A and B are shown apart, each in its own frame.
Chain A
Amino acid sequence: MRVPSIPAADFLPLVPAIILLVGACVLLMTEVFLRSPSRGYQAPLSLFFTGLAGAVSLSSAFEPARPVFQGFAAQDPFSSAVTLVVCVALGLAVLTSSGFLRSRNAERGEFYALMLFAASGMSLLAMSTELITLFINIEVLSVGTYALTSYLRRGTRPAEAGFKYFILGAFSSAILLYGAALLYGATGSTKLSEMAVVLPAALAAQPALVYAGALLVAGGFAFKVAAVPFHMWTPDVYEGAPTPVTALMSAGVKAAAFAAMIRVFLVLGKGMDPSVPLALFSGLAYLTMIVGNLLALPQRNVKRMLAYSSIGHAGYLLVGVAALFVTAEAPAGDGFRFFGATPLLAPGLSEVAARADALKGLLFYLLAYTVTTVGSFGVLAALERSEDEPKGTAWDLDRFAGLAQRRPGWAFAMAVFMLSLGGVPPTVGFMGKLLIFRSAVDTGLVGLAVVGVLTSAAAIYYYLRVVVAMYMRPAPEDERIPVTLSWGTELALALSALAVVVLGILPGTVTDWLQQASTLWLGQ
Chain B
Amino acid sequence: MNAEVVLFYAFAVLALLSAGMVIASRSPINSALSLVATFFFLAGTYVLLLAHTIAVLQVLVYAGAIMVLFLFVIMLLNLTETEGERAKVTFGRVAGALAAVSLFALLALVVMGVKGAPTAMATAELARFGTLAALGQTLYTEWLLPFEAVSLLLLVAIVGAVVVAKARI
Contact = CB atoms under 8 A, between A and B. Distances in A.
Q: Do chains A and B touch in the complex (CB under 8 A)?
A: yes
Interface of A: 1, 3-6, 21, 28, 69-70, 72-73, 106, 108, 110-111, 113-114, 117-118, 120-121, 124, 130, 132-133, 136-137, 139-140, 143-144, 146-147, 150-154, 162, 178, 182, 185, 205-206, 208-209, 212
Task: Name the 3 nearest CB pairs between A and B, nearest first.
Answer: A147-B160, A69-B145, A136-B149
A147 B159 contact: yes
Interface stretch (B52-60, B81-89, B110-118): B110-118
Given A182-B110, A205-B115, A110 B152 contact: no
B128 interface: yes
Contacts of A111: 163
Given A1-B128, A151-B163, A162-B164, A73 B145 contact: yes
26 contacts: A1-B134, A3-B137, A3-B141, A4-B142, A6-B144, A72-B143, A106-B169, A118-B156, A121-B156, A124-B149, A130-B145, A130-B146, A133-B145, A136-B149, A136-B150, A136-B153, A137-B149, A143-B156, A144-B160, A151-B163, A151-B164, A153-B169, A205-B115, A206-B113, A206-B115, A209-B110
Interface residues of B, number: 31
Nearest to A68: B145
Contacts of A110: 159, 162-163
Given A70-B142, A133-B149, A185-B114, A1 B137 contact: yes
A132 B144 contact: no
Interface of B: 107, 110-111, 113-116, 128, 134, 137, 141-146, 149-150, 152-153, 155-157, 159-164, 168-169
A121 to B, nearest CB: 7
Nearest to B125: A1
Contact of B159 (A3, A28, A162): A28
Contacts of B111: 182, 185, 209
Nearest to A120: B152
Contacts of B145: 69, 72-73, 130, 133
Contacts of A152: 169
B10 to A, nearest CB: 23
Given A133-B145, A140-B149, 15 more contacts: A6-B141, A110-B159, A113-B159, A117-B155, A124-B149, A137-B149, A143-B153, A143-B156, A144-B160, A147-B163, A151-B169, A182-B111, A185-B111, A208-B113, A212-B107
Contacts of A140: 149, 152-153, 156
A6 B144 CA distance: 9
Contacts of B110: 182, 208-209, 212
B34 to A, nearest CB: 19
B141 A69 contact: no
Contacts of B114: 185, 206, 209
Given A114-B163, A147-B160, A212-B107, A21 B152 contact: yes
B161 A147 contact: yes
Contact of A139 (B113, B142, B153, B163): B153
Nearest to B168: A153
A96 to B, nearest CB: 18
B169 A136 contact: no
Contact of A117 (B113, B142, B159): B159
Contacts of B144: 6, 69, 72
A140 B145 CA distance: 13
Contacts of A117: 152, 155-156, 159
A205 B116 contact: yes
A28 B163 CA distance: 11
Nearest to A135: B146
B99 to A, nearest CB: 11
Contacts of A6: 141, 144
Contact of A143 (B116, B134, B142, B157): B157
Contact of B160 (A21, A146, A178, A182): A146
Given A3-B137, A108-B169, A153-B169, A143 B160 contact: yes
Nearest to B166: A110
A5 B142 CA distance: 8
Contacts of B160: 114, 143-144, 146-147
B109 to A, nearest CB: 8
B119 to A, nearest CB: 9
Which of B155, B157, B161, B164 has the largest number of chain A CB atoms within 10 A? Answer: B164
A337 to B, nearest CB: 24
Contacts of B113: 206, 208-209
